[in-house]
Structure 1
Amino acid sequence: MESVAAQLRLRLLESITDVSAADWDALAGPEAPPFVRHAWLAAMEESGSATRETGWEPQHLTLWRGGELVAASPAYRKHHSMGEYVYDFSWAGAAERMGVAYYPKLVVGAPLSPATSPRFLVAPGEKDVRAVRLALLQAAVDSAKETGCSSVHVLYPLEEEADLLEEQGLARRITLQFHWKNPGYPDYDAYLARFDAKRRAQLKRERAAAATQGITVRTVRGEELGLEHARRAYGFYEATCESRGPWGQVQLTEDFFVRAFRALPGQVELVQAERAGKVIAGAFNLVTPERLYGRYWGCFEEHPFLHFHVCLYHSVDECIQAGRRVFEPGAGGEHKISRGFEPTAVHSAHLIFNRTLDRAVRDFLRREHEHLRPAVAQAEQLSGLKPWPLPGR
């Protein structure tokens, strides 16, 4: 009997638009996070944000059975390590000292989108999903070698995908993000009740500061969103990048925001802070029925606690009202711990073709992993969250 892999034909795409949105999104499924959808990837590429010129050279992996698209992975030949948020700059430095070319490398994932999403998209109804995923992995390895890449890096896969990749010999990396999780709060006060009196007073004071500053915060969504909101979101993003010096490189174009707002009207939201009739700050978010994803924030005026209100408290309240289970505010940000955001493992998997460098990276990851459990314990202690449900509830 012919194997699953033998039935499939590999086709590498130099642009996501080389396949129809309907075919790609049929693999992703209706519940997929926006970062793996055709419209998001197309906005990245067609806006000039993720192109060969910016170091993101599209090389999407697609598997076909006759004329039918059976499976796919978003993938890019990378010529730097910016915009990934799974930091391997030290690996690149080690490669340079060894005289090994680290770039280009093949990244399986979505540009500038540090959120867990399916990386091996398989058509509904496929009988042997595991075999098809393995065929995609083999295609990634083969195409990386054939196109002169040093390595394969699968960033932010699902945990079950990471399990499979580790089983196949890739080096697994586990890092932490801080996610707010909703165990079933009936209202915002129930969320506050999980903190001790001192911390609860702090959170109330920080959120209430906006009113004393004459600032109102609201979310713009749906039909109300227009071109001015897309341009405003870019302005917030640009302002934040410019405030961060060399590490705040502007990687997204204004056209990306315009395209994303137009293509994903049901999943894009903009939190706006207004003062004296003027928008002074905001956050560009994306939503699904189950999750809120915080992406880019920025401000044109500095006010105490404004960032916490716009990026955290306001959206936590709205998640409770909407019944969303998880709020992922993005990479980094230890300040989130004391505001009820819990340490959450995110995954990546790595295969470096130079054996000496691969061994060195695996040694590094073993040492890194040893520090993970103490870091989680420390974060949980700092959060101070009382167990849910609280007594009497």
Structure 2
Amino acid sequence: MAVAVVAAPSPFLGNSSFHSRKTTFRRYIQNSDVRFSIKSIFWGPRKAVEPAKLELSLGDFSLPELGSEGDQTNSDKQKNLSVSVVSSISEVSPDEWDACSLDSSGPEKFNPFLTHGFLSSLEESGSAVKETGWVPQHIIARDGCNKVLGVIPLYLKSHSYGEYVFDHSWADAYHTYGSRYYPKLQCCVPFTPVTGPRILVRNTNYRDQVFDILVSALVALTIKLQVSSLHITFPSANEWGKLKEKGFLQRIGMQYHWKNRDYRSFDEFLMDMKQSKRKNIRQERKKISAQNLTMKRLRGYEIKAKHWDMFYKFYRNTTDNKWGTAYLTRDFFHNMASKMGDQVLLVTAEDGDELVAGALNLIGGDTLYGRLWGCLPRAYYPILHFEACYYQAIEAAIEFNLDKVEAGAQGEHKIQRGYMPVTTYSCHYILDEGFREVISDFLIRERAQLELVMKYYTNSVHLRITLLEVLKRNIVG
């Protein structure tokens, strides 16, 4: 349901009833559901928004002098920095974008979702474009020699779909008081709740200075566009801490990840589980062979066009059955696969000669990222979802010697299958002072509740893991 937004002045600016309105708004937010499966009306049209008319340049900056006196390693041109907005990632060369991404994470923590190949596939396929409410507004920083020193994936949005950090109640509250929440700026990887750096900076002597300039440019663009807010979702923990110092509100969330404790096999991983969980997992895996299903893990060139055509059918079946939205087009899967190569891992299930289900994963520097799952319409194979998405991912991570598996958002059932809760992060810059203050209070209370839940889950298995690790060390010693 979409309701037209009333374009009215903020009730918190120049209003004699400021305190009474703020108190009422505070009650509204406090009474809202702070669980992590919030469903709500979106106040605003779910359609494309036109980017405001603005100068592409966000300013020119001079980087400070560094090094010893007389050091001429950097020319005057290299010490000049210009920051601008581009309307498509295609305006930046893949090599320069990827150099910023790789330097930000380091090769050991390479994040495939931040690559030019992945992000350009979203735009070229029509998945994250103006027509779907995702207007690219990427920020680029270049030195005087036109070398790219930093980039930020950024979008102007007319809705809150495809983000996995829920601000729906905030939008409803804005509407209640005649204020406009959409459009807003969103710094993220579209449709992908994966943690990683968001402000991507080359590894130079000026790295910290470029980072600060890019953050200032983000805020300046938010003010220039006169949008309600700027949201940076799933940044790294380090960025999250830095952005608090820049005036951003902090929010945490929770996902379930599997940790590889130097396992040599799936059976060795099972020995770290409680006996009841170990038995349950083994029984579940036996049901796959009992249904005459064959599981395969295909990588890179092994994945053919026919696999992607079928996987798109699986994907649409999942979104249609769950009243979801098919954010990704068929072309996205083909484009992404052609650009990402061996970073793509597709788990498939075959019933005889027929492909009946699949799970899409991407391989990072130290992480296997589980993304999407689906099966044939009207097909039912008990436990197949758990096998394709969780157990096959664990086996692959052990085989590739990866540190962990990130299996996407939500899902308490993952705990029974070896996945544990971890903290995720987001940062929010709210322009309106009144809304900002109340949302800040809301986030403090939400965080306390979430930390309590995480503590309960973690404590329930921590003692067993600790004892097993002690035993392993004693045996090895």
Structure 1-normalised TM-score? 0.95
Partners of 2:171 and 2:460 in 1: CA distance: 34
Q: Tell me the equivalent position of 1:343.
A: 421
Partners of 1:354 and 1:17 in 2: CA distance: 34
Percent of aligned pairs with the same residue? 36
SS in 1 for 2:160: coil
Q: Tell me the equivalent position of 1:273.
A: 349
Structure 1: where are the runs of 5+ without partners? none
Deviations, residues 50-80 of structure 1 (Å, cap 9, x unaligned): 0111010000001111211111100000110
Structure 2: where are the runs of 5+ without partners? 1-60, 66-78
Partners of 1:364 and 1:95 in 2: CA distance: 15
SS in 2 for 1:205: helix
Alignment of 1:199-278 (within 5 A): 199-245=277-323, 248-278=324-354
User: Which amino acid in structure 1 is aligned with residue 97 of structure 2?
Assistant: W
Q: Tell me the equivalent position of 2:93.
A: 20
Deviations, residues 239-259 of structure 1 (Å, cap 9, x unaligned): 1100102xx111110011110
Mapped pair 1:84 → 2:157 = no
SS in 2 for 1:348: strand
Contact 1:4 1:132 (C-alpha < 8 Å) held by counterparts = no
Partners of 1:57 and 1:97 in 2: CA distance: 26
Contact 2:111 2:365 (C-alpha < 8 Å) held by counterparts = no
Alignment of 1:1-393 (within 5 A): 2-4=62-64, 7-29=80-102, 31=107, 32-66=110-144, 67-124=146-203, 126-245=204-323, 248-300=324-376, 301-381=379-459, 386-387=465-466, 388-389=468-469, 391-392=471-472, 393=475
The structure-2 alpha-carbon separation of the partners of 1:2 and 1:18, relative to structure 1 and needing over 3 Å to count, comes to closer
Contact 2:63 2:206 (C-alpha < 8 Å) held by counterparts = no
Partners of 1:38 and 1:22 in 2: CA distance: 8
Partners of 1:357 and 1:303 in 2: CA distance: 48
Structure with larger Rg: 2
Partners of 1:380 and 1:232 in 2: CA distance: 38
Partners of 1:35 and 1:240 in 2: CA distance: 22
User: Which amino acid in structure 1 is aligned with residue 152 of structure 2?
Assistant: S
SS in 2 for 1:371: helix
SS in 1 for 2:279: helix
Contact 2:300 2:337 (C-alpha < 8 Å) held by counterparts = no
Partners of 1:333 and 1:383 in 2: CA distance: 17
SS in 2 for 1:330: strand
Structure 2-normalised TM-score? 0.79
Partners of 2:470 and 2:348 in 1: CA distance: 33
User: Which amino acid in structure 2 is aligned with residue 79 of structure 1?
Assistant: S
Contact 1:338 1:383 (C-alpha < 8 Å) held by counterparts = no
**RMSD of aligned residue pairs (Cα, Å):** 1.7
User: Which amino acid in structure 2 is aligned with residue 225 of structure 1?
Assistant: I
The structure-2 alpha-carbon separation of the partners of 1:4 and 1:305, relative to structure 1 and needing over 3 Å to count, comes to farther
